[in-house]
Amino acid sequence: MLIACHPASQRADSATQSNKTATAIGDGARIARFFQEVYDREVAQDPETQTYLGLDTDDQDKWFDLSDAAAAADVNEARADLLRLQAFKRDSLNPSNRMSYDLMEYQLQQAVAAEPYRRHAYVVDQFRGQVTDKVSLLLNAHKIENLKDAEDYIARINALQDVYGEMTAQLADRAEFGVLTPAFAYADMIADISGLGTGVPIDKSGKPHVLLADFTSKIKDLTLDDVVRTDLISSAGAAISGPFKAGIDALVAELTRLSTKVDGNKGVWALPDGAEFYNAQIKRYTTLDLTADQVHQRGLDDVTRIHREMRDIMKQVGFNGSLQEFFVFARTDSSNFYENNAAGREAFLADARKQTAEIFAIADQYFNKLPKASMEVRRVEPWRENSTSIAFYEAPSLDGSRPGYYYANLKDMSTYQKSVSTAITYHEGVPGHHFQIALAQELKGLPEFRKHSFYGAYTEGWALYAERLAKEMGFYQEPMSDFGRLHDEIWRSARLVIDTGIHAKRWSREQAIEYFRRNTPLSEGDMVTEVERFFVWPGQALGYKIGMMKILELRARAEKALGDAYDIRDFHDVVIGKGAMPLPILESAVDAYIAAKL
Residue 321: exposure state from Cβ atoms within 10 A (0-12, 13-18, ≥19): exposed
What pLDDT sits at residue 25? Answer: 60
Answer yes or no: are the C-beta atoms of 556 and 580 closer than 8 Å: no
- Distance, in Å, from the CA atom of 541 to the CA atom of 344, rounded to the nearest integer, reads 29
CB-CB neighbours of 308 under 10 Å? 9
Q: 3-class SS at 61?
A: coil
Burial 42-59 (b: 16+ CB within 10 A, else e): bbebbbbebbbbebeeeb
Integer Cα distance of 461 and 489 in angstroms: 11
Q: At what angle do helices 245-258 and 147-177 cross, to 10 degrees?
A: 20
Count Cβ atoms below 10 Å from residue 279 Cβ, excluding itself: 18
Nearest to 571 by CA among 558, 552, 584: 558
| pLDDT averages per 10-residue partition of the chain, 598 residues | 38 45 71 98 97 94 98 98 98 96 98 97 95 96 97 99 99 98 97 96 97 98 96 99 99 98 97 98 98 99 99 97 96 93 97 98 98 97 83 92 95 88 97 98 95 96 98 96 97 99 99 98 92 98 99 99 98 98 98 97
Question: Domain-by-domain residue ranges, the chain?
Answer: 26-117, 132-264, 276-554
Three-state DSSP state, 292 = helix
Looking at residue 342, its pLDDT comes to 96
Predicted TM-score (pTM) of the model is 0.91
Do residues 559 and 476 lie in contact, with contact meaning Cβ atoms separated by under 8 Å? Answer: no
Helix (H, G, I), strand (E, B) or coil at 377: strand
Residues 6+ apart with CB under 8 A from 532: 126, 127, 182, 184, 185, 509
